[in-house]
Structures are given as C-alpha cells and as structure tokens.
Amino acid sequence: MPPADSPDPAELFHGRRYHAYNDWVKREHGGRLQKVSIDAGFTCPNRDGKLGIGGCTFCNNDGFTPSYLREQRDIGRQIETGIAFMRRRYPQTQSFLAYFQSYSNTYGELARLQALYETALAHPDISGLVVGTRPDCLPDDILDYLATLSRHMPVELEIGIESCSDAVLRECLRGHDFACTQDAIRRAAQRGLFITGHLLLGLPLETKESLIAGARALARLPLDAMKFHQLQIIRGTRLANQYRADPASVPLLSPEAYIDAVIDVLEHLPANIKIQRLGSEVPPAQRVSPDWGIRLSRFPEMLEARLQARQTWQGRLCTDA
C-alpha cells in the first residue's frame, strides 16, 4: 500500500498513472505531432564490419519498417506516402516530424547527414526531425549540428539503450557498454537536445533485479522521454536461429509479465520523463514468436489497469530525480 500522504497519480499525470508523451505534446504544441518514418539507407558499425557483421542478435529493422519504405528510396516520395497515410489515420495531426528510423541515422560523415536531413526538412509539411541512433554513433560535431537545428525547430534524438546491464549487452552482441550510453546521453543533454531512450524488455540474461538497477541508473540521466518494446523474435536474426535450435534458451515474456516489467521500470523513473511507447507490433510474416494476439492500442488500457491493481504509478519509488 502507498503511504497515506502519497500524491494523487491522477493529478500528477492528468488522469493517468504515468506521464504519456502524447498528452504532453497536445499541451505543449496544441495538437498531435506525427512522425513520418524515413529509411535513408543507413547501416551501423555492428553490421558493416567496424564492430561486427550481422548486427545485434535481436536486430532486423525490416520488422519495424513500414512496407512503403522498402518500395521506394527517394526521401521526398517516402515523406509524401507517409503523410498521406497519417492524414487518413490521424486527421487531427497538427504537423509532421521526419523520423529517420532504420538503423543508425547518425552513422556517417557530417556532410552526408546534413544533406539527408535537409532534404527531409525542405518538405513544406515537415516541421522538425526525429533521429534514431546508437550511443556509439554520436560524435560531437553531429551533436553540435543537431543542437543548431533544435534552436529553430523540434529535434528529438532517440538513443537505443536496449539494456543497462553490460552482461546483457555483451550477450546480444551490442558492441558497446552502458557507460557509452551514459556518456552519449549526457553530451546530448549538455547541448539542450530532447532525448528519448529506447529500452528492450525481455532480452536474454535480463532479470527483474538488473532491470530495476538499470531503471535507477536511468533516473540519474537527463532523459526527456522513454520508449518500451517487448522482445520479439524476428526472422533473419541470430536470435531467431538460437530460438529455433533451443527455444528454452530465449525465454519470452507473457503480456502480463511484460506489463509488470514496464511498471518495475516506471516506478523508478522521474515523473517528468514522458512515455512515448509501451510496446511494438511486428508483422506476422516477420515474427517468429511470440504471438500475443494483442493490438498495440490496447497497451495503455492494460498498463493503467495493472498500475491500479498494484496501487502504484510512475516515479513512486524514484529517489534519484
């Protein structure tokens, strides 16, 4: 039971028990900001031979890439197709952000990155950038450039944390440690960038104890937002090969266990961190396992119900903010 003098979560989070990013965007920007995914042909150092070949054990971006991005390479056409789709699905959208999503979108020479970003920004309906990347692909000159852009438009930097445990990162062949992640987040925050961390729950060797320890470490970092994804076995990955050979070696979370794991992290995160995403959907043709049979749109309802049942909320156990 929470102590008698605990704050009312409904007052903290405008009717929720966690700080929803979309609620914050509506208050901050007066409406919905929709991200339009772009595949600009990037790779990463864990694929091109600099650190390794084949990528992290869990990684195949095809599982999360809209099909139209695989059908056309021109950035302008990708944006047009994405905006048309989003306008049909979310007619209340106020403006659009170009989301450089696939693989490590700061991995390259600054001049090339500038050309790609500015091609997207030249579209009249694009009002800002979201750039997804790895923490070991953020040299100072690129951070300086993104910081310059952020003075004139929304710029979000999405950093793949995945796990805060070095043992877990080694097991999935990540190619960097958590200290690298901490350094990247701090250097980006020093430049005033809006930083979203990406956490993948259910990786091999991750435990409830290591997850909570990681959440406490994240609470001490200058993060603005977080995304949560459940581990899914995607075709064409090393983890898929391992799972087929020995399913018991890759224990997968049930929906109930996953929601509890999200809450275990949320309880230790400061109340000011916005929660952008609660899970992910991989097309059945790309997914080996698990098949939960649950649409992503149900996750907020499931999370709220479980938060109520556990009588808890985001930040309840946070002592580091």
**pLDDT tens sequence across 212-247:** 999 999 999 999 999 999 999 999 999 999 999 999
List, in sequence order, every residue forming a beta bridge with 197; answer none if it has no partner.
Answer: 159, 226
Note whether 203 and 172 are within 8 A (CB).
yes
- DSSP, collapsed to helix, strand or coil, labels residue 122 as coil
Q: Write the DSSP string, 281-321.
A: ---TTTEEE------GGGHHHHHHHHHHHHT--TTTT----
Choose which CATH entry (2.60.40.420, 3.20.20.70, 2.40.128.20, 3.40.50.300) describes domain 9-310.
3.20.20.70
Cis amide linkage into residue 290, ω under 30° from 0: yes
> What is the separation, in whole angstroms, between the first and last Cα of the chain?
22
Q: Which of 203, 198, 249 is nearest to 58 (CA)?
A: 203
pLDDT at 10 over 70: no
Q: Which residue has the tokens 């250097």?
A: 187
Q: Tens digit of pLDDT for each residue in 30-59? A: 888 899 999 998 999 888 888 888 889 998
Of 210, 199, 198, 196, which Cα lies nearest the Cα of 273?
196
